[in-house]
A and B are shown apart, each in its own frame.
Chain A
Amino acid sequence: MDMETDQIYQIDVGNLLAFNPNHRFSSAPSSREELVKECVTEGTKLVQAIADTLFNLPSTETNDGPLVQLPPPSTKLPREKHLPRPKPPTKWEEFALKKGIQKRKKDKIVYDETTDKFKRRHGYDRVNDDNDIPIIEAKASDEPGEDPFAKRLDDKKKRVGKQEKNRLENLKSAAKAGALPSHVQLAVTGLPISGTKAQPKKIGKEALGDVAGLAATSTASGGKFDKKLPGEKPPKKQGKHHKYLPVVPRYGWVDEEKEQTNKVLGKLLSKHSHEILNVGKAINMYNDKKEKKKSGRSDKLKAKKDITKKKPYANKAN
């Protein structure tokens, strides 16, 4: 907004900011008050300039007063945090993209054929509720003595567990890309694999349960016949634990089986190396061998042969 020909102010209405780049103190201000006065008058001019633009903007009347819509600020200021990073697609999303599976919106009310009614999909009195099945017919493949209802619940638990594991993996890859959702935190918990560095953290109830389970399964029968303390829950995974590493290592990955065997072997050897190898004896043997090779040369420890001295019955051919 021009006030005088040589006074063009840079006005940013969005920030209520004005800058006058052309002001020069014409004469050195005589006193502090003079300086202050001049600054305030210059400031007044600038504020007046902003107000001129501001009050001419279209305004709406409200109870509190005239409301004006400000334009976005024109001065660029640095952000305080980085721009939100795009989330990497989850494993399902990648698969769906590859196969061309479209997302379909599910209705909240579904027709239930068993009762010929419309029921809700989730919640109270829902369609296909697991608890509502009265009869499960036996199939030829079923084992006698196995509870099919319990089996259904068990299957569901397994599915839920698998889903949780997949969710964790997806979040880990998102965290790696720096795009973890704001309300989620990934925390290290529980026990690490033996041989790796342990994270010193408080052990919670679940981790203690894991350790107890470990101890149980370390017995030969996999903890099946252990006497349980009152209140102790049965181990989550019955039987022995086996982790079979892939025989053929994945491309680009470290050969885990080889690493494992090497690690353990190394530890065993280093611990019991004194039993395996008698270092002193080995040295002596080595030295003897060496001496036999260099029979002509004299050793420091050996007494120096005095060639001037003649041995009485020396046989040179020896």
Chain B
Amino acid sequence: RKRFEVKTLGFSSLELKNLIFFLGAVGRVAEVAGKSSVMMEIRTPKTHKAKRVLEKRAPKLVENGKKTLILHGTKTSATVSSVLMELYRLKKGGAIKYSRRNENIRPFESGGETSLEFFSLKTDCSIFVYGSHTKKRPDNLVLGRMYDHHVYDLIEVGIENFKSLLSFSYDKKIAPHEGSKPFICFTGEGFENVPELKQLKEVLTDLFRGEVVENLNLTGLDRAYICTAVSPTKVFLTHCAIKLKKSGTIVPRIELVEVGPSMDLVIRRNRLPNEGLRKEAMKSSKDKPKKKVKNVDQDDVLGKLGRVYIPEQEVGKIPLPDKSKGVKRERREGKVKKNKEEGSASKKLKESE
């Protein structure tokens, strides 16, 4: 057995203990229960606007419309830049477009998503459109969605036969308004049978849908997106304006006029969400948010009862109109004098003098 004596440098055991106590006692922190070793502070927003922004971005039962983030990749061709620009114009109210090149975003690589997730967090966008152009993948567009600001699913399409909205000529009166709710139409058995097209259908619905509304104004329906599955790998997408024509019934006859960009989307790569994440994202709470209805009671005998609050009327203080101008001069002067006596201000005082 080995024994060695420790010379504690001239500290006696009592002094040592005191030393240790001092090291341990750091003001307020020591009073906080020994769980945390760091001081924490509660920070709340100092302005109402900041509070509203934070509440808007918080997770809710009924969510806001998804915002879209439009990004450029390392290199973009003219087609890709115009596609991104026109997509931004179509989604004006709910999209944010970044104009700089993003070299470190590679959606399909494991490390290349951090920048995307950061942008998504900062701008509160859940859908992104990333356009790039390389020799291997010319005119490339990656459509992706986020769940909790992490990448949920991705689909990569190539753009072919792009026709810009500037090249279409039509009557300007039927041009769709910004932010109107669109009709979305899918045609083709491919959208049901081919898994990539199924995913594309879902992503395009999410992208074009905008806000979910309860009340819709029927005069404001002026645009439609038509997607046709031309082949199991190709989808033809076009944007049309709606012309409502008179028909015999309440329902007007619909006529579509191509106005907007039209392009062919060729499926390249895709990434489906993993099953657990998908289940979690599709979860929806069945109960509606309880809306507090005030001043309404239900009575068994009388039925629905309401409470009406009437403020107290002070009959003596009701402001009567000062009709001194509509009356002849002497009468006017008399009325003004009377008002002056009563103490209420009169604008006509100047005129009468």
Contacts and interface: CB of A to CB of B under 8 A. Distances in A.
A185 B188 CA distance: 49
A80 B258 CA distance: 32
Interface string A182-201: 11111111111111100100
B36 A172 contact: yes
Chain A interface extent, by class: 35 or more
Given A66-B218, A70-B214, A210-B27, A193 B192 contact: no
A19 B191 contact: yes
Contacts of A195: 23
A279 B218 CA distance: 92
A43 B27 contact: no
A76 B189 contact: no
Contacts of B256: 40, 43-44, 47
Contacts of A187: 40-43
B187 A20 contact: yes
A243 B30 contact: yes
A184 B40 CA distance: 12
A79 B63 contact: yes
A142 interface: no
B186 interface: yes
Contact of A210 (B28, B40, B262, B278): B28
B39 A39 contact: no
A26 interface: no
Given A18-B186, A56-B250, A43 B20 contact: no
Contact of A268 (B8, B147, B209): B8
Contacts of B186: 17-20
B220 to A, nearest CB: 7
B135 to A, nearest CB: 26
A62 to B, nearest CB: 8
A186 B42 contact: yes
A77 B189 contact: no
Q: Which 3 A-B pairs have the closest CB atoms?
A: A182-B58, A43-B226, A65-B219
Given A48-B254, A83-B285, 10 more contacts: A18-B186, A39-B226, A39-B228, A40-B226, A43-B185, A51-B252, A56-B250, A65-B219, A182-B58, A193-B24
14 contacts: A17-B186, A24-B188, A43-B224, A44-B256, A62-B217, A66-B218, A76-B282, A78-B206, A78-B273, A172-B36, A183-B55, A194-B26, A236-B27, A243-B25
